[in-house]
Amino acid sequence: MSRYSFLFSARWLKYIAMTIIIVIACIFLALWQKDRQDQRQHEIATINANYSSQPVDITSVLGSTSATLDGDDEWRQVSLTGHYLESDTVFARNRTVNDKVGYYVVVPFELTSGDTIAIVRGWIAEPDQAPPTPTGEQTIAARLQPAQDGSEDNNPDGLIKAIDPARIPGMDSAYENIYAETIHTGNGLPDESGLTPLPAPDLDPGNHLSYMLQWFTFGIMIIIAVSISARRERRADAEAAAKFTGDVEYVVVDKEALDAGAKISQPGNRYGRNRLRSPGVHGRDEAEEDEFIEDRFRHS
């Protein structure tokens, strides 16, 4: 029988099944973290390629107002000419800049083509601190972002939570699936109008790579732990078997005594005492019987 035949016992089959399940889960989580790492690297590459690019006409990026922004075009700079619709200004709440919670100032911008696009002009601490919006025809540069879903938002007048063109007034013939962030120059401090520029996107790759390695390590450690346990149990079984074999007691029998009619009795001392008993001796106590047998062996 194989030294590892115990692995087919119900107890060990349960351990092995649990090990397989856990290892598969570790592999799945490791591959998931790898996918997250690849996605994050792609996002960083897109930011680096588009964030400081030269502005282009918006029609070269989006073929129509209903077009969806491609992931590779996020943060792309576009040049827009038209005028702000100041009366339709709204404030996107719960926006954090420089560790302070405030509002994004969002104003519809009507292009010379007649289409409109939502523009985030900057950040302020309170809506009543918003500076006047420039009037007249403007040519601005802005970075494109995918629109947010505000279909389930419940907002007071003048406030929004998600930057969704469908929830912003004055957005006739609007770009439905995007908005744009005004490009500011300077060091991130409030500009001459009093608006604080939005921070640059985060380029931190995150901890996905280390998490991936950790999950792979956990899976390998579990396999090693189960293997060690199996080796220890096999060794323990072998030692138990060897110990059992070594404890077998052997009885030395004198053939001549057997020929003379002696019978095997209960085990006695290490020299074989009390192991042979003569059937012809009756009425003697145990000590006399032992002496009789030993004297018989000496004179045989």
Place of tokens 């696009």: 117
Given a cut of 90, is residue 95 above it in pLDDT? yes
CA angle 88, 134, 154 (to 5 degrees): 25
Lowest mean pLDDT among 134-148, 240-254, 277-291: 277-291
Q: 170 and 54 in contact (C-beta within 8 Å)? A: no
Instruction: Report the relative pairing of strands 77-84 and 138-146 from DSSP bridges.
Output: antiparallel
Q: How confident is the model at residue 146 (pLDDT cuts 50, 70, 90)?
A: very high
Q: How confident is the model at residue 44 (pLDDT cuts 50, 70, 90)?
A: very high
In whole angstroms, what separates CA 262 from the centre of its chain? 79
Q: What is the pTM of this model?
A: 0.67
Lowest mean pLDDT among 10-19, 211-220, 234-243: 234-243
What is the per-residue pLDDT across 10-36, written as a single tens digit (0 to 9) for each?
Answer: 888 998 999 999 999 999 999 999 999
Q: How confident is the model at residue 270 (pLDDT cuts 50, 70, 90)?
A: very low
Q: How far is Cα 254 from Cα 265, in angstroms, rounded to an integer? A: 13
Q: At what angle do helices 10-50 and 208-246 cross, to 10 degrees?
A: 160
